[in-house]
Structure 1
Amino acid sequence: MRVELSDEARRYIGRFDELTGVTPKDCLVEGDRLVFLVPAGEMAEAIGQAGQTVERVEDELGRTVELVEDADTAEAFVASALSPAAVRAVTLSEQNDRVAYVEVAEKDRGVAIGKEGRNIDTARTLAKRHYDVDDIQLT
């Protein structure tokens, strides 16, 4: 699936790559925060020891930076996108729409949703762009 990036997102991806040595696959510009989709296996390098690398990126870009790690399957990706919530299971429905039904521990439901729904909205956007998932529903 081809993702079209804005010029602003491309600039942030380039700067992130320069600062971390990791080339993100995607960047969402959401007001005061940036969400980067990091290739699978490169999350530790993007974060850096004790979070120093990502902190340097935040200071340099003047925005909050959040990272999501890519995965091999849509189910694994949805679980990754909702991290740090404890996801027990993801079931993908292939009826008329592709919907990911996510079983989340009750205590982590708020984490999965996020303040004003930001976390789940970000997960929905990235899952649609990269795995053609139409919706994510918590169960």
Structure 2
Amino acid sequence: MSRILAIDYGLKRTGIAVTDEMQIIASGLTTIPSETAIAFLTDYFQKEKVGKVLIGEPKQMNGEPSESTPIIEAFVVKFKQAFPEMKLERVDERFTSKMAFQTMIDSGLKKKQRQNKALIDEISATIMLQDYLSRKMF
């Protein structure tokens, strides 16, 4: 099988998570500067077999697009141009940042470590991917 990769794209940073080849476990991969996302993915896709990419779709509580939607939509266009053959699925990313922060607290990370926004982005991508895997199994 191939891996599934999740992207939590942001204006400054992009969190990336990936499954194992059996698509059972989601793990944080890295956080990168957003302007390097296409180059990073090009390199990663050459090294690893990825069958699908999930990109977070930010929404407000009422389901309307959030203010960061245009930024992410622009990235989706670039992604599709760079990787036209790659399966792409948009997934709701509401609450992932809050859940990531709570995960950091629950894990016993100190306050200074919890202020690491790059780690929050990576954990957010992992939560998004794990949620997708959980829904896929039922």
Tell me the TM-score normalized by structure 1.
0.28
- For CA contacts below 8 A with separation 6 or more, give which structure has more relative contact order: 2
